[in-house]
Amino acid sequence: MRKNNNKDIKNLRKKKNYTYRPISSALERVLYNPIKVLDKGFIRVVDYMGNDSSIVQAARVSYGKGTKKKSLDKGLIRYLLRHKHTTPFEMCEIKLHVKLPIFIARQWIRHRTANINEYSARYSILEDEFYIPRKINLAKQSTSNKQGRGNEIDNELAKKIIQILKEDSKRNYNNYLWMLNEEEYEEYDNTRESLSRELARINLTLNTYTQWYWKVDLHNFMHFLSLRADSHSQFEIRAYADILLELLKKWVPITYEAFCSYKLNSADLSAEALEVIKKFIKGKKVKRENTSLSQREWDELILLLN
């Protein structure tokens, strides 16, 4: 972030406000502070509403925050999540400021259950900041998954790829500035016309960093995490999801624990898979050919049961 932004954040953190609202003390401690992601990205909490007690309050439609016994709140929250009673979780919201590469932003925005305001490259000029993967994160195309990665690639080839990414990013950005032809840049030429910002931006590479404000309720926040914190998700967006998981833990620790139990570290089973498990429990030997499961479903079930 630029130095003046860091100064703004320090000023925000100096100012303390008294409130009657329910707060999360752990989340308050990281409020406004940018948490680094990837090479140049970050996530920072700008604002939030509610905590674990707010979920309990909404579920019971009561005046109180929750109950005197934390165990009762915990039991209710786990019950709500286990039985997919999601409305009480929608009473809590969080607003984040996120800096991320454009290609990750395009995956992220597939979750259409949030309010988003992105930095406008039609109005402003994007900075020359690009995501460059580390060599360890460069991998071959997966042979079993068309949208996934396979094994790591050769070290020398990795160096060449990183060099190409850096050179292409810089060259395209320089051409972007040339097309803009604005007075504050070194190569400004008052003898030629400038291309509009909304068109000049189309020359930028997808690893260019953008920024946005993302506001979402707790229910949809957890749905996002259940998909993007999954091991099958792309590494780069999973890096952001890992930070979001830590923020979830600080924000609503009881809900976080229930989320890990029923969503993140659990599995959905089909009726057919459940029948197979029942037979296993009874000590019966089951062959895939005697079930209605496909080979892939069978392999996934056996892997799940280890």
Beta strand 35-37 with 139-141 is: unpaired
Is 20 in a helix, a strand, or coil? Answer: coil
- Cα distances (angstroms) measured from residue 104 to each of 147, 184, 231, 263: 14, 30, 16, 23
Which helix H or strand E contains 178, and what residues bound it? helix 155-180
CB 122 within 8 A of CB 198: yes
Catalytic residue among 228, 238, 288, 296: 228
CB 216 within 8 A of CB 224: yes
The reply to whether 122 belongs to the active site is no
- Which candidate, 151, 306, 299, 149, places its Cα nearest to that of 232? 149
CB 59 within 8 A of CB 218: no
Is 187 in a helix, a strand, or coil? Answer: coil
CB 188 within 8 A of CB 227: no
DSSP string of 232-273, one letter each residue? TS-HHHHHHHHHHHHHHHHH-HHHHHHHIIIIIT-----HHH
- Cα distances (angstroms) measured from residue 34 to each of 93, 149, 174: 19, 29, 28
Strand segments (E) across the chain: 35-37, 41-49, 93-101, 115-118, 139-141, 149-152, 209-217
- Which candidate, 106, 60, 105, places its Cα nearest to that of 79? 60
Catalytic residues: 228
